Structure formats: C-alpha cells, structure tokens
C-alpha cells in the first residue's frame, strides 16, 4: 500500500506552492509520485531518491580523490576551521529552513564570520533599493483577488517560477477578479521574446540595459509630459499607451527579476521601478514585488533582519553586526582575499560566482553542506551531504511575498543522515567547547 | 529553584495598596510568597532602593513582519545602536527598531518582564512567533488584527455575533494569538483600493458595512467569548487634525456594554495610543490639544482603558496596520515608504519619522500625550506607552516617567521648543502642575496594564501567588532628586527577577530567562457554518491551503496557554 501526503510545500522556488500531493511507500522510505508540482519542483522531490546519492561526508585528498569520513570528523574539521579563521565566510542559507538559519547565525556570531546569502548575486540590489526608497507591496493573494494590471519586468516566470502565473498572477479567479486572465491586462518589459512575453497583452521589447530610461519615461508619461520619439528602443506612443493601461487599472502589480537587478544600473533600476509604483499610488492602487529565486532566500534575510538588523552581507567579525554591500558581500571579500575560510550551506556559489571567486574558494579551507553533488562541493575540501529540507525534514520557509509557511517532511532521509540543523547544532556545540564558552 | 528575599526596599504595589513602605519581598519556586515561607533565601539588599513588580507593556510593536521591514530597510537605525556580545548577552543592534535580542535586554534593563506585540497579521503569525521565540527573557503575546478581516466584515454586516465569536476563537487558536486587535476598522480594507474610512460611518467599499458596526460587533463578540483582554482598538482617522470627534464617536460605541469575563478585567474597550487621536483644529496650522475633552470622557466611563502613545521627540520608525495613514505620512514627509496589504485580512505600512522639537506639531503631540496621563483621575486605566516605535522607542519610558513626575523637567522641555509660545497656546500642559508619584507610575506600568490584559492573576503586583517578576531600582523616593535621576535609575534596573530567575544582578544581565509565549485557547460550541466558510475562503481566495495556515506548536517552544470556555 502507498499513502498520499497532501498540502505539501515545494522547496524549489520563491513561489513556495503548498498544494502538492506526494505518494510515498507504506514504510515512508520511498517517494513514488509527485502531483501538482511543476517539472522542476517534481524533480527536486524525486531527486532525493537517486540511487547514486551521496550519503556520507567526504574529504578531498592530496591527489584530488575523495575519502569517506564520519559526521564526527566532518564536524571536527568544520569547527576547527571556523575557530582557526580570523574571518570566515559563511555563505548560502537560501535552500534551508529558518531553524537552520537561526542556528547558523548563532554560530557565525560566535566565530566572527561574515554571513552572506544568495541575494548577494540576485536580489541584493533590490534590498538596497528598498533601503533607499521603501517598497509598496502586498501578498500574492492580493494579486490573485484584486490585480487587473500585471507587469512582468526583467523576469520570465514561465520558466523560472513555473506555477506563479497560474497560482497568483495571470490566470486565477479571485474575489474581485472573477474573470481570471480575461479580466487582467498583462504587460511584459523584456529585451527577449520570452514565453512570458508570449502570453502578455503588451510586450515592450526594451533595448538591453536601458530599463532605467524606460521606467523614467513611464513617470513622465503618467504626468502627461512630453517624451522623445523613442525611448530605450520603444516608440513614445507605446509608452503613453502602456502608462495609461497601468494608470487606469484598479490594482497594479509589478513583478521584477534578475533581468534588471543584475544588469547595468542594478539598485538604481529598482529604485525607479519602486518610484513608478509610488507614483501609481497617486492615481490608483499599486504594488511591486521581487521574484525571489530560492525557496527560502527570503527567510534568511528575515532571520538576519531580526537577529542582526540587516538582510544580507552581515559582517560579524568585529563583535557586532556591520553591513556595507560592496565591502561585506561574498564576492568582494573573496576577490580581495579578506576571508580565510569558506563555509557554504544551501546554495551553489561554485556554479554562480565568477571564476576568480571560485578559484579562491578552491584555495581556502572550505566546507560545503549540500544534499547534492554540485560545482561547489567539487571545489571544497569537505562535502557534508544532508537531508533535503522540505522533503526529508520540515521547517519554516518564507515565500517571495515574505509569507512564512512550514514545510513538511514527506519521506525518511537515508539512514544515518543528518539534517542541516543537526549538523550546525553539533558544530556550534563543538565550537563552544573549543572556545571554552 | 533558588529562594530570594529582597530586603528593606521601598515597595510600590497598587494591588496591595503599598505606597513606598519598607517591605520585604520573598520568592520561592518562581512565585512570590510570604516572607515566612522562605527558609534559606539568597538576600538582595534593597535598602534605599525602589522595588516594583516587573513592568507590563500592553502595546508595542516588537515582533513580526512590519517590525522586520523596519529593521531591514533602515540600516541607518543601527549607526549608533550596536552593542557587542558579552558574557551571556548576544550581539545587539538598532535604536528605534532594535533586533529581537536587544529588545529583550533593553526591556529587562528597564525592569519590564511582559510585553505584548500589538498587531499580528494572521497570515504572518509564524513570523511573529519566530521573532518572539528569539526575544530573550520577556513573556510575550501577540494580538491578531480583526478589524478588516473579510470574515468579520461579512458576519458583522448581518450582526452575526455568535459566528464572529466562533471565527475569533478559531483564528486565535490558528495563530496562537492573545487578543482581538482592531486597526482603522474598514479603512485598511478600503486602502486595498487606495481609499480610506475616515469616520465611523464611512462605508467600507464593497462590504456594505461601517466602522461603527465593526467596532460594536467586535466588542460584543469579545464579551460573548469572555476573553481575558477586551477589544483592543486603534480608531479611524488617526493622526489627523480634528480627529478627536472620531475618537469620541468610537469611544461611545462601547456604551452600555458590560464586561463579561473571569479574569478581573473591567473594561470592554482598550483604546490604544490615544495621543494620536486627540487633535482639534482643521489643519496642521491650527491643530490643538483636545486631551481634556478626551479625558473628560475616559474619566467618566469606567468600562474603558487607554494608553498614551507618548511622543518622545526622537527620530523613529512608524509602523502600523493602518495602511492609508502610512501613505498619508509619506506624502507628508517624503521619506521612504513600505506597504504590505495582506489578503483577506489586513494591510500595513512603515515610514521613518523625525519628531523634532523644532517642529510645532511634534511639540504639540508631545504635550498632548502627557496631558492625557496628567488629566487622568484613575491611573489604573491610563497606561504609559509610546506605541513603540511609532511615537518613540520604548527605551524612553523612563524619560516619559520623568516628564510625568516632574514639572521642572516639562518646563525644561518647553524651553527647548523652537515654537514654545505657539505650543503653549495650542495645549493645556503648561497649566497643569500635577506631578505623578511612583505609586501612580506603578499603576500605569504594572498593575493597570496587567488588569486590563486579564493577567492580574499573574503579573502587575508582588502579592503572594503571582509570578515572581520584580525589579529593584537605584532610586530613593524619600530623598530629594533631580529629574534626570528618574530616567537614569529606571533605565538601569539594579536587579531583576523573571518568574523567580535572576535576570539582572548589579545591573549586569546574568540570564536569558525562560521566556514564555502567552496565547488564548477558547472553547466554543461547534459552528458548522463558520467552519464551512473558512474552508470555502481558503479554497477560493487564500494562497495557502487551510492545512498550512495554523501555527504549529513547533513555533512556541515554551507556550503558556490561557483557557477560556465559551460553550455555555
């Protein structure tokens, strides 16, 4: 007999769908089917069943080969590495639960680490913009129930957040949006003709890197002022028309992604997009929301927010929390040789950081905590496989609109495997022992 | 557990009627006991010092989504507020929105041991609980907001009190909440369309109900259930010149309703941060104090309690579920603005604000808050708050005490205002020479709030049987003092005990305590209609499933459940 677990939360992206159904074997050890999830989410669950999964920590040898070690040995290596470092970098935290993040923060505090999360290479710029100008936003249910104007800007949910459009933004019928997608006007601003652009009413194919100009033109158009004939590759008539479409809505939502957070302009792009949203609130109701990637990158920003006061790039090395993106961000530290060891949990900088940073990681004492084999695990000295959060252990995660949801355990982890939190707890205890506190 | 005897202090305990007498206080097994009941206590010498029960804060924004927005979007708030970890203290940061860890320690340093989070959006309840879990020492509870909740709007449109009550009971359980909070009833729902409800008869768009119906209905539902705290109210039209009439209209909705509870609470409405609701005039040019009119009403109606919302003349971070007000504020000061509207439930906004002594309106606001407390005839019903961090950070409570206890300090502050004469003209404070004493301060910060919360059986007094929460301050009430001495002494408790555990010894924090989360579990008759409505709304309009909504025990490692039986 099999059993079906309902209301399962998907630990893949910031959409954090919570309506999955997972079929597991009677003994709870095997995960058989995943329903309602997108292809990527389903794969995340099913991947936990891979037969070649690594289930024990391993240490790289001089000749480059791996040697299996015990969890105790991995804990000892990690604790010593952190205690011996003047300024360790503890990076990642986006694919784990808030409980592990909270324990990790305590550990970081004790060893004087720099804590950074994946926002540093995705929505960190958005967080900086919010510090400049604020952010009028809402929960995704407000979008579902009220939004009649939806703007996707520099993002492609059709591929990156596959169920976003059907659960929240374009297709669902909500309380005041009974006609579903036919009651909504969808605008996409993107230099690429993406699959999201294909379902839009209007696609403004902005010239690469000229988003700031286009957004600025929107602010001018709202006020009925004059525009040049073409701005950022878009004829002014189209801009006036799109601006009017937004102004005439009852509830406008702007979603934005890494197409603008990490292109030229960075936080300034987001500044002006938020200013556009503020402007729209003079005429109607408008909100804006970053399309957060990892399922709990938002959570790590929240945990550090309440523990340290900053959402990313938190430098604890002086005994109190400091924050200065550009100085205390992971890549800047690595490339300036300012950290002397690297601890990675819940992300894959090996795949996403510039090669010069990855090379530094390779040269330093380093530990990667990850259920998968990744480019990061391949450049670290020690790889500690752990249970999948949201599959083999529950815990709190924050959706892209900052709504916290408790993820569920649906299947047993392979025997003898630790969770992130257990591993961090053990390292914390060992660090306290070594430091005599 | 260790036994303690706090000897020879000047004790202030309104519940027992002790007005500064030299009395010993004994602690055993986490509770106060008769001094004869301790055998071999550790003695704390309190000679020449003031002894009070642990402070109880009825209204502060210290945990949850909007508080964390305030922290994360204001790195500048950390510039001067950081503190390195030391001993058992973890690192701390922030001024107007301190980190959770600093929040716990700073309250403890002031001798406070119980703090209620004043607005919890139900959908964000987990977040609030996560932050409270990470706040050391303090016992805490949180008030879920109900005044713009679609269930409530729909039930109360038809005056369905029993259904409203059943829904309240369900939501308190689902969110592990403590009390019924109302913020700008109807107005925040209107804000979801960029609108507002500015008085109690302004209709809520679509829902065909008025704020007056919401307020009255929620008071009735609250008494139907017999909850420990009354309906906790933030009225419409906050912060606008001339709004005192809206406030009085809101007060009047409680008339004729009698409290029904087993917790010793005597009010049916607690109106919060009344300073923001006591303005006359019709523009910022002629805004004036209407504290007298407000207090005339409060003094003559014993079925309500209020708190001050005292402006402290600091740079701070305003945050409230009153979404339209925060938009109004950002239009006023052009500083950064955060807003979150929460599906089916509520909204909120956050805007930094500078209460400058050089700005006439800020100085008038400062005076109005103090007038409220000084015109009160019963300090058991008027509580000291700053609506932290809205009118100022909670660390200023001792400064507010100074202003309340010393006319000299108020005169000094008047002299520091740029528009002193205009402020005096627009307010009554300069003509008030009353100086509160420590007994009245103990009423406003301990006994009163504890009683209003329905927690007089646990907090607010040193009577045997109550939780052993007690603070010892370096203040001798029998000797002459300079006003600033009050602030210094009450900012730095010499000793503090929380449920019998010593938290502060000789001004040093020595324990993180064993903090508890208070919530109210209400038993009601089975109500098939409400449960059907809940299922339906979750299926169609929420973005989380019903089964993923309830906050599990996992988030409350040390809960304290107050059981209420409303099945009769």
Peptide bond into B555 cis (omega under 30): no
pLDDT of residue A407: 97
Q: Which residues of B touch A139 (CB under 8 A)?
A: 123, 340-343, 543
Residues paired with residue A389 on neighbouring β-strands, in sequence order:
A393
pLDDT of residue B225: 98
Residue with the two structure tokens 């089975």: B526
DSSP A212-223: HHHHHHHHHHHT
pLDDT of residue B376: 98
pLDDT of residue B66: 97
pLDDT of residue A410: 97
Q: Which residues of B touch A175 (CB under 8 A)?
A: 150, 344, 540-541
Q: Are B486 and B480 in contact (CB under 8 A)?
A: no
HEC string of A37-54 equals CCHHHHHHHHHCCCCCCC
**Which tens digits make up the pLDDT trace of B345-357?**
999 999 999 999 9
Average pLDDT (B450-461) is: 98
Q: Are A82 and A111 in contact (CB under 8 A)?
A: yes
Give me the interface pTM, i.e. the ipTM: 0.97
**Which tens digits make up the pLDDT trace of A270-280?**
999 999 999 99
Alpha carbon distances (Å) from B461 to B43, B45, B54, B450: 20, 20, 8, 9
Q: Within 10 Å of residue A87's Cβ, how many Cβ atoms?
A: 17
pLDDT of residue B333: 96
Average pLDDT (B542-564) is: 97
* Radius of gyration, CA atoms only, chain A: 23
Alpha carbon distances (Å) from B440 to B140, B291, B428: 24, 19, 21
Lookup: tokens for B108: 């403890």
Residues paired with residue B340 on neighbouring β-strands, in sequence order:
A137, B348
CB–CB contacts below 8 A, A to B: 187
In this model, does residue A186 exceed pLDDT 80? Answer: yes
Closest residue in A to B546 (Cα) is: A7
Residues paired with residue B28 on neighbouring β-strands, in sequence order:
B31
Q: Are B41 and B68 in contact (CB under 8 A)?
A: no
Cα separation, B118 vs B101, in Å, equals 18
Contact A7 B548 (CB under 8 A): yes
pLDDT of residue B405: 98
**Which tens digits make up the pLDDT trace of A314-364?**
999 999 999 999 999 999 999 999 999 999 999 999 999 999 999 999 999
Residue B289 phi, psi (nearest 5): -75, 135
Nearest neighbour of B344 by CB, restricted to A141, A278, A301: A141
Longest dimension (CA), chain A: 70
Contact A306 B100 (CB under 8 A): yes
Residues paired with residue A92 on neighbouring β-strands, in sequence order:
A117, A345
Task: Say what percent of chain A tops pLDDT 90.
Answer: 99
Average pLDDT, chain A: 97
pLDDT of residue A236: 97
Nearest neighbour of A134 by CB, restricted to B67, B336, B545: B336
Lookup: tokens for B530: 């409400």
**Which tens digits make up the pLDDT trace of B139-175?**
999 999 999 999 999 999 999 999 999 999 999 999 9
The alpha carbon of residue A317 is apart from the nearest alpha carbon of chain B, in Å, by: 10
The alpha carbon of residue B394 is apart from the nearest alpha carbon of chain A, in Å, by: 17
Indicate the SS3 state at residue A289.
Answer: strand
Average pLDDT (A219-246) is: 97
The alpha carbon of residue B353 is apart from the nearest alpha carbon of chain A, in Å, by: 13
Q: Is residue B69 within a helix (H) or strand (E), and if so which, with residue range?
A: helix B65-72
pLDDT of residue A68: 98
| Distance in angstroms between the alpha carbons of the first and the last residue of chain A | 51
Average pLDDT (B113-132) is: 98
Contact B351 A134 (CB under 8 A): yes
DSSP B79-102: SS--B--BTTBPPB--SSS--HHH
Chosen from B327, B343, B537 to mutate, greatest number of chain A CBs within 10 A = B343
Helix count and strand count (H, E) for chain B: 18, 24
Cα separation, B133 vs B16, in Å, equals 33
pLDDT of residue A437: 87
DSSP A240-268: HHHHHHHHT-SEEEEEE-HHHHSSTTTHH
Nearest neighbour of B341 by CB, restricted to A134, A142, A320: A142
Q: Is the dihedral of CA B504, B509, B514, B515 positive or negative?
A: positive
> What stretches of A119-228 adopt beta strand conformation (E)?
134-138, 149-153, 185-189, 202-204
Q: Where does residue B481 rank: exposed (0-12), middle (13-18), buried (19+ CB within 10 A)?
A: middle
Residue B80: band (very low, low, confident or very high) from pLDDT cuts 50, 70, 90: confident
| Distance in angstroms between the alpha carbons of the first and the last residue of chain B | 40
Contact A323 B78 (CB under 8 A): yes
Phi-psi region of A309 (alpha: psi -120 to 50; beta: other; left: phi over 0): left
The alpha carbon of residue A282 is apart from the nearest alpha carbon of chain B, in Å, by: 9
pLDDT of residue B316: 98
In this model, does residue B568 exceed pLDDT 80? Answer: no
Closest residue in B to A285 (Cα) is: B194
pTM: 0.97
**Which tens digits make up the pLDDT trace of A36-58?**
999 999 999 999 999 999 999 99
In this model, does residue B530 exceed pLDDT 80? Answer: yes
In this model, does residue A301 exceed pLDDT 90? Answer: yes
In this model, does residue B278 exceed pLDDT 90? Answer: yes
pLDDT of residue A289: 98
DSSP A5-16: EEEEPP-SBTT-
Q: Are B504 and B510 in contact (CB under 8 A)?
A: yes
Alpha carbon distances (Å) from A323 to A3, A112, B270: 48, 14, 40
Nearest neighbour of B68 by CB, restricted to A127, A302, A319: A302
Average pLDDT (B506-530) is: 97
Q: Which residues of B touch A133 (CB under 8 A)?
A: 336-337
The alpha carbon of residue B403 is apart from the nearest alpha carbon of chain A, in Å, by: 31
Contact B93 A137 (CB under 8 A): no
Residue B1: band (very low, low, confident or very high) from pLDDT cuts 50, 70, 90: confident
Residue A294: band (very low, low, confident or very high) from pLDDT cuts 50, 70, 90: very high
Helices B150-157/B161-175 angle, 10° precision:
170
Contact A309 B72 (CB under 8 A): yes
Residues paired with residue B140 on neighbouring β-strands, in sequence order:
B115, B517
pLDDT of residue B81: 87
Residues paired with residue B504 on neighbouring β-strands, in sequence order:
B496, B509
pLDDT of residue A122: 96
Cα separation, B357 vs A225, in Å, equals 40
Average pLDDT (A190-216) is: 97
Q: Are A189 and A206 in contact (CB under 8 A)?
A: yes
Nearest neighbour of A278 by CB, restricted to B75, B193, B337: B337
Q: Within 10 Å of residue A219's Cβ, how many Cβ atoms?
A: 16
Average pLDDT (B541-555) is: 97
Q: Within 10 Å of residue A181's Cβ, how many Cβ atoms?
A: 18
- Residue whose C-alpha is closest to residue A167's, from A400, A330, A331, A392: A400
């Amino acid at each position: 007999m099999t059993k079906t677990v309902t209301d399962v939360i998907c630990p893949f992206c910031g959409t954090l769908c919570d309506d999955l159904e997972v079929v597991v074997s009677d003994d709870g050890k095997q995960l058989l089917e995943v329903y309602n999830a997108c292809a990527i989410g389903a794969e995340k669950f099913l991947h936990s069943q891979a037969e070649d999964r690594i289930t024990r920590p391993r240490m790289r040898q001089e000749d480059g080969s791996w040697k299996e070690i015990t969890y105790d040995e991995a804990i000892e290596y990690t604790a010593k590495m952190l205690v011996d470092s003047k300024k360790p970098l503890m990076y990642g935290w986006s694919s784990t639960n808030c409980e592990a993040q909270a324990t990790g923060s305590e550990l970081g505090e004790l060893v004087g680490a720099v804590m950074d999360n994946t926002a540093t290479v995705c929505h960190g710029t958005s967080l900086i913009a919010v510090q400049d100008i604020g952010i009028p936003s809402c929960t995704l249910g407000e979008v579902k129930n009220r939004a009649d104007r939806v703007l996707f800007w520099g993002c492609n949910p059709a591929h990156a957040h596959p169920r976003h459009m059907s659960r929240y933004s374009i297709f669902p019928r909500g309380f005041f949006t009974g006609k579903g997608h036919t009651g909504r006007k969808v605008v996409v601003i993107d230099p690429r003709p993406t699959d999201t652009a294909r379902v839009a009413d209007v696609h403004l194919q902005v010239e690469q890197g000229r988003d700031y100009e286009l957004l600025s033109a929107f602010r001018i158009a709202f006020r009925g002022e004059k525009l040049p004939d073409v701005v950022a590759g878009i004829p002014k008539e189209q801009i006036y028309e799109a601006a009017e479409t937004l102004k005439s809505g009852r509830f406008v939502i702007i979603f934005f992604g890494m197409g603008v957070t990490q292109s030229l302009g960075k936080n300034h792009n987001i500044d002006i997009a938020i200013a556009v949203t503020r402007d729209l609130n003079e005429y109607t109701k408008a909100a804006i929301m970053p399309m957060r990637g990892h399922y709990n990158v938002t959570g790590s920003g929240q945990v550090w927010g309440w523990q340290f006061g900053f959402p990313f790039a938190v430098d604890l090395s002086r005994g109190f929390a400091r924050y200065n993106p550009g100085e205390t961000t992971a890549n800047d530290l690595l490339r300036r040789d300012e950290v002397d060891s690297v601890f990675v949990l819940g992300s894959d900088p090996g795949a996403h950081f510039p090669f010069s940073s990855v090379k530094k990681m390779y040269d330093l004492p380093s530990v990667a905590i990850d259920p998968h084999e990744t480019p990061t695990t391949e450049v670290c000295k020690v790889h500690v496989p752990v249970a999948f959060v949201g599959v083999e252990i529950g815990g709190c995660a924050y959706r892209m609109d900052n709504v916290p949801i408790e993820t569920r355990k649906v299947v047993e982890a392979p025997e003898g495997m630790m969770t992130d939190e257990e591993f961090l707890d053990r390292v914390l205890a060992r660090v306290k022992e070594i430091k005599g506190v | 557990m260790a036994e303690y005897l706090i000897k020879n202090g000047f004790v202030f305990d309104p519940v027992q009627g002790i007005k500064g007498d030299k009395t010993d206080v004994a602690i055993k097994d986490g509770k106060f006991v008769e001094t004869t009941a301790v055998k071999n206590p550790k003695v704390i010498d309190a000679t020449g010092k003031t002894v009070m029960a642990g402070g109880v804060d009825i209204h502060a924004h210290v945990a949850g989504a909007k508080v964390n927005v305030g922290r994360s979007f204001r790195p500048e708030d950390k510039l001067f507020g950081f503190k390195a970890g030391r001993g058992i203290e973890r690192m701390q940061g922030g001024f107007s929105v301190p980190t959770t860890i600093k929040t716990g320690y700073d309250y403890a340093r002031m001798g406070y041991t119980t703090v209620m989070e004043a607005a919890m959006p139900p959908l964000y309840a987990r977040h609030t609980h996560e932050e409270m879990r990470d706040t050391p020492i303090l016992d805490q509870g949180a008030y879920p907001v109900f005044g713009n909740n679609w269930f409530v709007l729909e039930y109360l449109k038809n005056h369905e009190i029993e259904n409203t009550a059943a829904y309240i009971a369900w939501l308190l359980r689902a969110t592990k909440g403590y009390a019924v909070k109302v913020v700008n009833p109807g107005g925040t729902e209107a804000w979801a369309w960029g609108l507002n409800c500015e008085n109690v008869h302004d209709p809520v768009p679509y829902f065909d109900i008025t704020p007056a119906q919401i307020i009255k209905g929620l008071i009735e539902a609250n008494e139907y259930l017999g909850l420990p705290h009354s309906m906790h109210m933030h009225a419409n039209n906050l912060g606008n010149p001339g709004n005192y009439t809206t406030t009085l209209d809101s007060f009047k909705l409680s008339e004729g309703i009698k409290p029904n509870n087993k917790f010793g609470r005597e009010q049916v409405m607690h109106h919060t941060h009344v300073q923001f609701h006591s303005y006359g005039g019709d523009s910022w040019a002629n805004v004036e104090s209407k504290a007298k009119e407000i207090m005339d009403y409060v003094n003559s109606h014993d079925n309500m309690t209020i708190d001050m919302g005292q402006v402290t003349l600091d740079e701070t971070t305003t945050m409230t579920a009153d979404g339209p007000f925060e938009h109004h504020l950002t239009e006023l000061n052009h500083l950064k603005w955060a807003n979150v509207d929460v599906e089916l439930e509520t909204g909120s906004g956050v805007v930094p604000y500078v209460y400058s002594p050089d700005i006439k309106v800020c100085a008038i606001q400062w005076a109005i808050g103090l007038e409220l407390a000084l015109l009160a005839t019963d300090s058991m019903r008027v509580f000291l708050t700053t609506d932290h961090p809205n009118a100022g950070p909670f660390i200023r409570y001792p400064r507010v005490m100074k202003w309340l206890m010393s006319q000299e300090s108020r005169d000094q502050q008047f002299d520091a205002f740029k528009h002193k004469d205009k402020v005096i003209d627009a307010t009554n404070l300069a003509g008030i020479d009353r100086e509160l004493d420590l007994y009245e301060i103990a009423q406003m910060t301990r006994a009163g709030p504890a009683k209003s919360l329905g927690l007089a059986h646990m907090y607010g007094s040193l009577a045997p049987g109550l939780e052993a929460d007690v603070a010892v301050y370096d203040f001798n009430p029998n000797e002459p003092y300079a006003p600033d001495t009050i602030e210094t002494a009450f900012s730095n408790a010499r000793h503090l005990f929380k449920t019998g555990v010593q938290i502060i010894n000789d001004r040093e924090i020595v324990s993180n305590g064993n903090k508890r989360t208070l919530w109210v579990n209400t038993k009601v008759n089975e109500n098939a209609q409400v449960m059907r409505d809940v299922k339906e709304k979750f299926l169609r309009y929420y973005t989380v499933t019903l089964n993923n909504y309830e906050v599990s025990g996992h988030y409350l490692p040390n809960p304290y459940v107050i059981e209420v039986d409303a099945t009769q």
